[in-house]
Chain A
């Protein structure tokens, strides 16, 4: 459904962010991207969304190449990025301009209800907590009913309890239309709690290090031994990805920064 082929990205300043990423994601699948800071997760997501052009390779959704933001692909950024001059309800309806007013209102009301924010529609974004704002941002992308939704560490700024709560909200929303989810996270627990597959990226330049299926039935019990085992697998891969010896580069061997990306 989502095809990523030999995607490379080198930024104008020379940073080699991604090297030959190839990946297929099925319809309705939830894929988690994990990897250390700076390994290119955001870059990858931005290229899938069409906000940024790859240096090489291409992305396609249902065989249709993506050059610019595509109606079937939604994105949730790391920060909520609500428009401060619109109320919560208007923010959620931001991408629904083409629909009749009644349909907009119906979708907004239902969305607010689903994320536990009924009655918050008339508030300004500044009157929301961080977690509430992030829920609004997720719902803003989802009410447009994209076939694929990209999420860039949507919960990373929240405390553990809120995060778990929002993960459940996200799953509940996903159940509705079952869009494909690509979720960037650096939280292994989050990856295992949500995803069908965890893709571990390796830094400098960003490459796929491991592709780990997570075959646990939903709803998942975070305390079960199977969950712990899956977590261990992903963690191990993550460790490996970071401690990989660098490919031998003459002159760079003794560079103090050559060790890891953190």
Chain B
């Protein structure tokens, strides 16, 4: 409601381009109000000596720590390690998820054969695999990537399978009426139809990837943002923990944003109520 009125009023007295920018700016700034105010209040309370900041350092100290880590090049090493693991695990998990999801979505026999097993595996909390992965793949990269891949796999698999099963029969019929071959039907009708849901599935897969990289790095790593977390806990440095958390948040957001931006042109046709929001 309020967004609509905001839009209208600014449209009357500004250029279209400026309107879009200012609306984007307003909503972006609005989202910042809460965290920034809370941070400033806490900072002020700390400066005034109202709080003991041993366990929860004020924002200024967190950012100083973050800055120091960045300056020394340490942050870069950890970020590269974490991003590398997420990238490999995410790539592997989403690739297998898309392939199996497409298979079970498209063929009823494949679904009957594979889906019960996969659903049973899904019921197992992924972290329960950790000891086994370590036994099989060693304590180093292999087991970590396998864990991340397992976390990414399930949302992607489920999303793609549901997307294919839900393709509108009426649209498929148009393809049949024009006598598309099986291959052409997949390329010209099914793939474009499942693209939006697939992208959503991949985005939630990436979210899982970041969730599991933390678990993987906490269980033993010599570098990576998860290592910074553990290290901060063992040395009693909450500012380092919070700096790592912020780095995780920023990385996760950037990853998601990259998916959204890179797929946006392919989804320009979409007719959803969120368009342009």
Q: Residues of A with Cβ closer than 8 Å to B? A: 49, 51, 68-69, 71, 74-75, 77, 79, 81, 83-86, 94-95, 97, 124-126, 144
Q: A77-B170, A85-B192, A94-B174 are in contact. Are A69 and B271 (CB under 8 A)?
A: no
- Among A81, A85, A124, the most chain B Cβ lie within 10 Å of the Cβ of A85
Q: Are A75 and B177 in contact (CB under 8 A)?
A: yes
Nearest first, the 10 A-B pairs at minimum CB distance are A126-B271, A85-B192, A95-B178, A85-B269, A124-B269, A69-B179, A81-B174, A75-B177, A69-B177, A84-B269
Question: For the complex, what is the distance from the CA of A97 to the CA of B189, rounded to whole Å?
Answer: 14
In the complex, what's the smallest C-beta–C-beta distance from A95 to chain B, in angstroms? 4
Question: For the complex, what is the distance from the CA of A124 to the CA of B270, rounded to whole Å?
Answer: 9
Question: For the complex, is B173 an interface residue (Cβ under 8 Å from A)?
Answer: yes
Q: Residues of B with Cβ closer than 8 Å to A? A: 170-171, 173-174, 176-179, 184, 188-189, 192-193, 195, 268-271
- Nearest A residue (CB) for B189: A83
Q: Are A51 and B192 in contact (CB under 8 A)?
A: no
Find chain A residues with CB under 8 A from B192 CB.
Answer: 83, 85
- Nearest A residue (CB) for B174: A81
Find chain A residues with CB under 8 A from B178 CB.
Answer: 69, 94-95, 144
In the complex, what's the smallest C-beta–C-beta distance from B175 to chain A, in angstroms? 9
Q: Are B176 and A51 in contact (CB under 8 A)?
A: yes
In the complex, what's the smallest C-beta–C-beta distance from A59 to chain B, in angstroms? 15
Question: For the complex, what is the distance from the CA of A125 to the CA of B173, rounded to whole Å?
Answer: 18
Give the secondary structure class of B's interface.
helix
Find chain B residues with CB under 8 A from A126 CB.
Answer: 269-271
Q: Are B177 and A51 in contact (CB under 8 A)?
A: yes
In the complex, what's the smallest C-beta–C-beta distance from A144 to chain B, in angstroms? 8
Find chain B residues with CB under 8 A from A81 CB.
Answer: 170-171, 173-174
Question: For the complex, what is the distance from the CA of A101 to the CA of B258, rounded to whole Å?
Answer: 34
Find chain B residues with CB under 8 A from A75 CB.
Answer: 177
Tally the A-B contacts, defined by beta carbons under 8 Å.
46
Question: For the complex, what is the distance from the CA of A97 to the CA of B181, rounded to whole Å?
Answer: 12
Q: Are A51 and B269 in contact (CB under 8 A)?
A: no
Give the secondary structure class of A's interface.
loop
Find chain B residues with CB under 8 A from A94 CB.
Answer: 174, 178, 188
Q: A51-B176, A51-B177, A126-B269 are in contact. Are A83 and B170 (CB under 8 A)?
A: no
Question: For the complex, what is the distance from the CA of A83 to the CA of B270, rounded to whole Å?
Answer: 11
Find chain B residues with CB under 8 A from A74 CB.
Answer: 177
- Nearest A residue (CB) for B178: A95
Find chain B residues with CB under 8 A from A49 CB.
Answer: 177
Find chain A residues with CB under 8 A from B179 CB.
Answer: 68-69, 71
Question: For the complex, what is the distance from the CA of A75 to the CA of B177, rounded to whole Å?
Answer: 7
Find chain A residues with CB under 8 A from B268 CB.
Answer: 124
In the complex, what's the smallest C-beta–C-beta distance from A42 to chain B, in angstroms? 12
In the complex, what's the smallest C-beta–C-beta distance from A88 to chain B, in angstroms? 11
Find chain B residues with CB under 8 A from A84 CB.
Answer: 269-271
Find chain B residues with CB under 8 A from A86 CB.
Answer: 269
Find chain A residues with CB under 8 A from B270 CB.
Answer: 84, 126
Question: For the complex, what is the distance from the CA of A77 to the CA of B173, rounded to whole Å?
Answer: 10
- Nearest A residue (CB) for B271: A126
In the complex, what's the smallest C-beta–C-beta distance from A133 to chain B, in angstroms? 12
Of B170, B189, B269, B271, which is within 8 A of A79 by CB?
B170
Find chain A residues with CB under 8 A from B195 CB.
Answer: 85
- Nearest B residue (CB) for A78: B170
In the complex, what's the smallest C-beta–C-beta distance from A168 to chain B, in angstroms? 25
Of A69, A71, A125, which is within 8 A of B176 by CB?
A69
Question: For the complex, what is the distance from the CA of A23 to the CA of B176, rounded to whole Å?
Answer: 25
Question: For the complex, what is the distance from the CA of A97 to the CA of B177, rounded to whole Å?
Answer: 14
Question: For the complex, what is the distance from the CA of A74 to the CA of B188, rounded to whole Å?
Answer: 19
Find chain B residues with CB under 8 A from A77 CB.
Answer: 170, 173-174
- Nearest B residue (CB) for A95: B178
In the complex, what's the smallest C-beta–C-beta distance from B147 to chain A, in angstroms? 36
- Nearest B residue (CB) for A96: B178
- Among B171, B174, B192, B268, the most chain A Cβ lie within 10 Å of the Cβ of B174
Find chain A residues with CB under 8 A from B171 CB.
Answer: 81, 83
Question: For the complex, what is the distance from the CA of A79 to the CA of B170, rounded to whole Å?
Answer: 9
Find chain A residues with CB under 8 A from B174 CB.
Answer: 77, 81, 83, 94
Find chain B residues with CB under 8 A from A95 CB.
Answer: 178
- Nearest A residue (CB) for B266: A85
In the complex, what's the smallest C-beta–C-beta distance from A165 to chain B, in angstroms? 24
- Nearest A residue (CB) for B272: A126
- Among A71, A83, A86, the most chain B Cβ lie within 10 Å of the Cβ of A83
Find chain B residues with CB under 8 A from A83 CB.
Answer: 171, 174, 189, 192
Find chain A residues with CB under 8 A from B184 CB.
Answer: 97
Known: A51-B176, A94-B174, A124-B268. 5 other contacts (CB 8 A): A71-B179, A77-B170, A83-B189, A86-B269, A125-B271
